[in-house]
């Protein structure tokens, strides 16, 4: 009974026993490489680098992905680590050169996080490889032994990752997308068949599945945030499926008599397309053809044209138009989903003729994709660059301090700075006390052990395997204090086998951690101390400002007064700021929050911008509105559409200005709740509507897109009112909000 309770407790602290499996794997590898190098080859140098290579990429790093991806990542780390180890060894003799190298390496390695989770996960391990040779003994002649030890440790870890309690696979984003596609297909089947009993359950299932596509609901290691074409396609696929879910939800929200009968065949086609897309994502069949969806869209458009002539002028007409608009938008979203899935299934395969319609990156070479991502984040407004500069400065300063004070174990100063520094001073400060307490506790235990065992290395050799496992698992299972304490004892046992050591070694370790923590706190307080909290509001304002310009361009295009070129020109800056805002938001959600900070749902803002960008992009696939209308047919309706479009653009711009200046976004209050219904009602009463169905259809679709933008504008007013109406926090400057220029 007690064993079962202990197991349940362990599973609560370590779901899936992932940390325990990793601890056993790393413990075995570290023990084997250390014992072979230290006692088999008689090389303390090779033993040191073998162990720290294992710790760097087994403990400080998170190697994620499929088994093949993890192997490729570790092979890349082995090559890059050998280069960094060589550079660090050659520069170590000069404190100044080593510090400058630490600054360059620290910034460069930390900045690779722009490449997505797989690169971000190994950044700390690569930092450790350069840090390790930067301290005494400065012995360039031992470089071959250092490299051999490092290669031995990482190489054995690479093999163990495949065969020795390998990490359990995390459900990929493509699998989540397949589940969402299948759930949406089931909902569409029930809706098209008029199965009122099945709709509620399938609607709930589709909502859950679509919710799992949100970045916040996705484990960080499988988030599609990398610059490569596969990640970009997955992100577009997830956005398209979530957008499609929103349109189906809107369809079901229409009064039952307004759901168009002529949409049944279209809903069935959409369901079939989604089922086939889900199968393709799971490797069970080909991706459906975009041409089939295009044919269905043309057929549905023709059915709508026939229906418009028969509708009477009452509320049923308005409800029918709203539902028909939702179905048409679902078709557009499904088209994007199919195009994205085609690239996800075969990123390097041939593209269909319509692939270029998805976005510029669909046919771009990999080198260009990487350059565009790096160039986008070479800005002081990028949290990736801020984090890289903060960490690089902290490590360089720690190296100067350790070299200036001539600390024989200065490695631990930099290691403390590396592991304790966070993206905001609030988060860094929160880790300081547990780290100091844990190190002090571990130093006391280590001093006692060293005093009792003395020079008997056999005791340390016997304890080393157990301490390896405990040190790796303790942080996850028992918390940071236990992790720091056990790691301090492990370090003492490790160095006691390399050279004679006394109880004073534990005190040195404690002093080094305190110095490194002080450097981390000092640099964190001086270099972008607020982290994501300090940038999220400014990035949201900039993003909304570009979104307002995009809304203006796309609204003019829908109203027949703009051009495709104007929309395409505004898409690029909007996507650029959306990229920065998304990175800031993810960091913001990972940081500790100040107690007095308002609880603003920035995720809603992010979703609004995503939908505005998708709406603008999909509108480019429509026929030219100007070619479908007669300018003098309904001049009052056309003028109203243009006025509504301009009002929405002004509303988004007003929200951006209000957010930047800290004012309540009053502009959104002018958007009426029946924005879309009012416009559709006026269109239903237009003289000659039945005689000109194509013009009527184009106006209805244009207002349908504006109605979606209007709903999002109203949502912005709700979520941003608290942060704009409340006064800025009066406390520390690290969290003070400064207004931006409009």
Question: Could you read off the pLDDT of 379-404 as tens digits, one per residue?
Answer: 888 999 999 999 999 999 999 888 88
Domains of the chain: total: 3
Q: In whole angstroms, what is the distance from residue 423 CA to residue 120 CA?
A: 14
Rounded-to-integer distance, Cα 589 and Cα 111, Å: 20
pLDDT at residue 97 in the model: 92
The answer on 314 and 300 residing in a single domain is yes
Cis peptide before 194 (omega within 30 of 0): no
Based on the fold, state whether residues 439 and 473 are members of the same structural domain: yes
pLDDT at position 495 over 90: no
**Radius of gyration over every alpha carbon of the chain, rounded to an integer in angstroms:** 30
CA dihedral 691, 695, 697, 702 (to 10 degrees): -160
What is the full DSSP assignment across 10-76?
HHHHSGGGHHHHHHHHHHHHHHHHHHIIIIIS--HHHHHHHHHHHHHHHTS----SSHHHHHHHHHH
Q: Are residues 446 and 343 part of one domain?
A: no
Q: How far apart are CA 412 and CA 488, in angstroms?
A: 10
C-beta neighbour count of 262 within 10 angstroms:
16
**What's the pLDDT at 150?**
96
Domain check: are 507 and 553 in the same one?
A: no
How far is residue 450's CA from residue 440's CA, in Å, rounded to a whole number?
15
Provide the pLDDT for residue 113.
92
- Overall average pLDDT of the 436-446 stretch: 87
Q: How many CB atoms lie within 10 A of CB 401?
A: 20
Asked if 386 contacts 240 with a C-beta cutoff of 8 angstroms, the reply is: no
Mean pLDDT on 197-205: 92
Domain co-membership, 242 together with 164: no
Question: Residue 717: is its pLDDT beyond 90?
Answer: no
Q: Which residue has the higher pLDDT, 352 or 318?
A: 318
pLDDT at 180: 96
Query: Region 651-655: what's the mean pLDDT?
Result: 86
Question: Is 632 in a helix, a strand, or coil?
Answer: coil
Asked which of 117-131, 265-279, 481-495, 681-695 is least confident by mean pLDDT, the reply is 681-695
Nearest to 245 by CA among 186, 321, 317, 322: 186
Indicate the pTM of the whole model: 0.86
Task: List all residues 6 or more positions away from 414 whose beta carbon is below 8 Å from its beta carbon.
Answer: 102, 131, 134, 395, 398, 399, 402, 516
Q: Containing domain of residue 494, as a range?
A: 2-169+379-526
The model's pLDDT over 11-39, given as tens digits with 9 standing for 90+, comes to: 787 787 888 889 999 999 999 999 999 98
Task: Let me know if residue 616 belongs to a domain.
Answer: yes
Q: Choose the weakest-confidence range: 169-173, 254-258, 575-579, 585-589.
A: 254-258
121: which DSSP letter?
T
CB atoms within 10 A of CB 541: 25
Q: What is the pLDDT of residue 78?
A: 95
Mean pLDDT of 400-412: 78
Q: What is the percent of the chain with per-residue pLDDT over 90, rounded to a whole number?
A: 30
pLDDT recorded at residue 560? 72
> Is 200 buried (19+), middle (13-18) or exposed (0-12) by CB count in 10 A?
exposed
Q: Which residues contact 418 (CB under 8 A, 6 or more apart)?
A: 60, 124, 127, 128, 131, 391, 395
Of 526, 560, 590, the one marking the end of a domain is: 526
557 plus 638 within the same structural domain = yes
**Which residue among 486, 510, 526 closes a domain?**
526
Mean pLDDT along residues 715-735:
53
Same domain membership, residue 718 and residue 632: yes
Q: Is the CB of residue 460 less than 8 Å from the CB of residue 497? A: yes
CA distance 3 to 26: 25
Note whether residue 272 is domain-resident.
yes
CA–CA separation, 467 and 459 (whole Å): 12
Q: Does residue 332 sit in the same domain as residue 435?
A: no
Q: Where are the beta strands (DSSP E) in 147-282?
A: none
581-601 pLDDT, tens digit each: 989 988 888 886 654 445 567
94 located within any domain: yes
Contact 712, 598 (CB under 8 A): no
523 falls in which pLDDT band (50, 70, 90)?
A: confident
C-alpha distances (whole Å) from 487 to each of 63, 427, 443, 495 are 21, 21, 10, 12
CA 292 and chain centroid, separation: 33
Q: What is residue 166's three-state secondary structure?
A: coil
Q: Above 70 in pLDDT, residue 608?
A: yes
Q: Is residue 10 part of a domain?
A: yes
Is the pLDDT at 723 greater than 70, yes or no? no
Given this model, what pLDDT does residue 241 score? 94
Nearest C-alpha neighbor of 484 from the set 456, 452, 446, 454: 446
User: What is d(CA 632, CA 650) in angstroms, rounded to the nearest whole number?
Assistant: 26
| CATH number where 323 lies | 1.20.58
Give the Cβ contact number of residue 164 at 10 Å.
Answer: 15
Other beta carbons less than 10 A from residue 457's beta carbon: 16
Residue that wins the pLDDT comparison between 408 and 580: 580
**pLDDT exceeding 70 applies to what percent of the chain?**
89
372 domain residue, yes or no: no
Q: Which of 469, 499, 526 is the last residue of a domain?
A: 526
> For 58-72, what is the mean pLDDT?
91
Do 56 and 155 form a contact (C-beta atoms < 8 A)?
A: no
Helices (H), ranges, 354-456: 366-377, 383-404, 411-420, 425-453
Tell me the mean pLDDT in the region 595-608: 69
Phi-psi category of residue 115: left, alpha or beta, with phi > 0 → left and psi -120 to 50 → alpha: alpha
CA distance linking residue 550 with residue 293, whole number of Å: 27
pLDDT at 31: 92
Asked if 32 and 161 sit in the same domain, the reply is yes
Check residue 392 and give its pLDDT. Answer: 94
Query: What is the pLDDT at residue 368?
Result: 92
Q: pLDDT value at position 742?
A: 28
What lies within 8 Å, CB to CB, of 93 at 6+ separation is 138, 140
Residues 165 and 308 in one domain: no
Asked if 620 and 721 sit in the same domain, the reply is yes
pLDDT at 734: 35
Using an 8 Å Cβ cutoff, are 486 and 471 in contact?
yes
More confident residue, 92 or 359: 92
Q: Which of 554, 558, 555 is nearest to 571 (CA)?
A: 554
φ/ψ region of 259 (left if φ > 0, alpha if ψ in -120 to 50, else beta) reads beta
How far is the CA of 275 from the CAs of 231, 242, 268, 358, 504, in angstroms? 22, 16, 11, 21, 67
pLDDT confidence of residue 24? 92
What's the pLDDT score for residue 740? 29
Residue 370 covered by a domain: no
155 and 177 housed in the same domain: no
* Per-residue DSSP letter, 164: S
- 365 in a structural domain: no
φ/ψ region of 454 (left if φ > 0, alpha if ψ in -120 to 50, else beta) reads left
| DSSP one-letter string for 666-705 | GGGGGS-TTHHHHHHHHHHT-TTTTT-HHHHHHHHHHHHH
What is the overall mean pLDDT for the chain? Answer: 83
Select from 477, 495, 482 the least CA-distant residue to 441. Answer: 482
Rounded-to-integer distance, Cα 472 and Cα 477, Å: 10
Is the pLDDT assigned to residue 209 strictly greater than 50? yes
Q: What letter does residue 309 receive in the DSSP assignment?
A: T
Query: Rounded CA gap, 588 and 248, in Å?
Result: 31
In this structure, are residues 245 and 207 in contact, taking their beta carbons and an 8 Å threshold?
yes
Within 8 A by CB and 6+ apart from 75, the residues are 158
Q: Does residue 569 sit within a domain? A: yes
Of 641, 650, 624, the closest CA to residue 552 belongs to: 650
């Amino acid at each position: 009974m007690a064993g079962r309770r202990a197991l349940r407790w362990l599973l609560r602290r370590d779901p899936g026993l992932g940390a325990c499996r990793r601890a056993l794997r790393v413990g075995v590898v570290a023990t084997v490489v250390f014992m072979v190098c230290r006692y088999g080859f008689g090389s303390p140098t090779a033993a040191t680098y073998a162990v720290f290579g294992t710790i760097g990429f087994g403990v400080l790093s998170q190697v994620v992905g499929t088994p093949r991806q993890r192997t490729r990542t570790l092979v890349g780390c082995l090559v890059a680590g050998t280069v960094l180890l060589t550079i660090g060894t050659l520069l170590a003799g000069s404190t100044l050169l080593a510090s400058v190298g630490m600054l360059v390496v620290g910034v460069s390695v930390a900045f690779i996080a722009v490449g997505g989770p797989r690169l971000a996960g190994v950044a700390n391990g690569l930092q450790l490889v350069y840090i390790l040779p930067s301290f005494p003994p400065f012995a360039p002649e031992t470089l071959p032994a250092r490299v051999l030890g490092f290669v031995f440790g990482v190489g054995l870890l690479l093999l163990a990752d495949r065969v020795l309690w390998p990490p359990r696979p995390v459900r990929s984003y493509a699998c989540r997308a397949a589940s969402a596609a299948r759930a949406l297909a089931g909902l569409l089947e029930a809706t098209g068949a008029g199965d009122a009993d099945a709709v509620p359950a399938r609607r709930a299932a589709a909502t859950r599945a679509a919710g799992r596509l949100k970045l916040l609901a996705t484990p960080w290691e499988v988030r599609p945030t990398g610059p490569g074409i596969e990640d970009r396609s997955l992100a577009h696929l997830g956005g398209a499926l979530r957008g499609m879910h929103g349109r189906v939800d809107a369809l079901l929200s229409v009064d039952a008599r307004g759901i168009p009968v002529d949409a049944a065949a279209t809903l069935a086609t959409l369901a079939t397309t989604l089922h086939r897309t889900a199968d393709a994502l799971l490797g069970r069949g080909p991706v459906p053809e975009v041409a089939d969806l295009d044919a269905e869209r043309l057929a549905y458009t023709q059915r709508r044209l026939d229906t418009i002539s028969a509708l009477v002028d009452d509320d049923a007409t308005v409800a029918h138009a709203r539902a028909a608009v939702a179905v048409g938008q679902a078709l557009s979203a499904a088209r994007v989903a199919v195009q994205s899935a085609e690239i996800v299934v075969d990123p390097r395969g041939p593209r269909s003729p319509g692939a270029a319609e998805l976005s510029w990156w669909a046919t771009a070479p990999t080198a260009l994709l990487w350059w565009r991502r790096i160039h986008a984040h070479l800005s002081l407004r990028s949290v990736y660059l801020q984090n890289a500069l903060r960490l690089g400065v902290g490590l360089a300063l720690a190296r100067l301090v350790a070299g200036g004070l001539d600390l024989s174990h200065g490695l631990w100063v930099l290691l403390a700075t590396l592991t304790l520094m966070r993206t905001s001073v609030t988060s860094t400060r929160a880790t300081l006390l547990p780290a100091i307490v844990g190190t002090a506790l571990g130093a006391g235990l280590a001093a006692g052990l060293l005093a009792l065992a003395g020079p008997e290395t056999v005791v340390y050799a016997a304890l080393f395997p157990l301490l390896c496992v405990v040190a790796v698992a303790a942080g996850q299972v028992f918390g940071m204090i236990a992790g720091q304490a056990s790691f301090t004892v492990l370090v003492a046992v490790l160095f006691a086998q390399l050279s004679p050591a006394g109880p004073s070694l534990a005190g040195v370790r404690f002093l080094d951690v305190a110095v490194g923590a002080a450097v981390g706190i000092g640099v964190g307080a001086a270099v972008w101390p607020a982290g994501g909290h300090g940038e999220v509001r400014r990035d949201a304002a900039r993003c909304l400002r570009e979104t307002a310009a995009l809304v203006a361009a796309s609204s003019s295009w829908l109203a027949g007064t703009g051009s495709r070129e104007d929309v395409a020109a505004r898409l690029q800056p909007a996507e650029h700021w959306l990229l920065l805002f998304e990175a800031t938001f993810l960091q913001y959600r990972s940081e500790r929050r100040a107690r007095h900070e308002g609880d603003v749902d920035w995720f809603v803002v992010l979703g609004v911008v995503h939908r505005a960008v998708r709406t603008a992009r999909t509108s480019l696939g429509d026929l030219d509105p100007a070619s479908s209308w007669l300018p003098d047919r309904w001049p009052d309706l056309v003028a109203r559409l243009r006025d509504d479009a301009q009002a929405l653009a002004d509303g988004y711009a007003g929200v951006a200005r209000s957010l930047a200046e800290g004012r309540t976004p009053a502009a959104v209050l002018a958007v009426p709740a029946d924005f879309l219904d009012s416009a559709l009602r006026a269109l239903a009463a237009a003289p000659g509507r039945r005689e000109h169905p194509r013009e009527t259809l184009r106006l209805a679709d244009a207002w349908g897109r504006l109605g979606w933008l209007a709903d999002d504008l109203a949502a912005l007013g709700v979520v941003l009112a608290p942060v704009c109406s409340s006064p800025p926090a009066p406390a520390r400057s690290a969290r003070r909000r400064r207004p931006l220029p409009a």
